[in-house]
Structure 1
């Protein structure tokens, strides 16, 4: 996850970063992020990842139901694989990677 989270005038947050996962993952893989500031928390997006062994960028944009302001915050991103059984029913999720860090929210 990048160390800067962007907030637009309307409160929309944008998180971004890079990820890499190998092609041997057979389930759907998602990249999602979270932001927390002053006791408020919001999950932002769930982009489908491309797992081919290469490094890719991701960007999730969403308008949370709570307000975030420019300043220090904490954030995290998770690369999550949803495996399926033979009937294509999702089974337990498998966390492939997790990154948590201090971030700064800045005006877009």
Structure 2
């Protein structure tokens, strides 16, 4: 239970019969009511719905911008690696009779 005090502070009462985990959940629930300024609202159903819905805390925009930059760098690195691998495969295909022979055997079997 949360009681607003005259000085603008709050008193939170937690059932002593609850185990520690349940007491922490009750405290967090009470803090949501305080943080959401629920004591100025009148719709109890809406208040409890919001208090019981776990919404993730919004992250600062910079976190997303940093993540996008990192993903772009990773993408460029992978793209460069793919180009290098493509050149290596083309070199092997153009310069290695064994590769052509293996390809021929794969496509046409053992009969040359």
Higher helix share: 2
State the TM-score, normalizing by the size of structure 1: 0.22
State the TM-score, normalizing by the size of structure 2: 0.22
Higher strand share: 1
Q: Using CA pairs under 8 Å that are at least 6 residues apart, name the structure with larger relative contact order, 1 or 2.
A: 1
Say which one has the larger Rg.
2
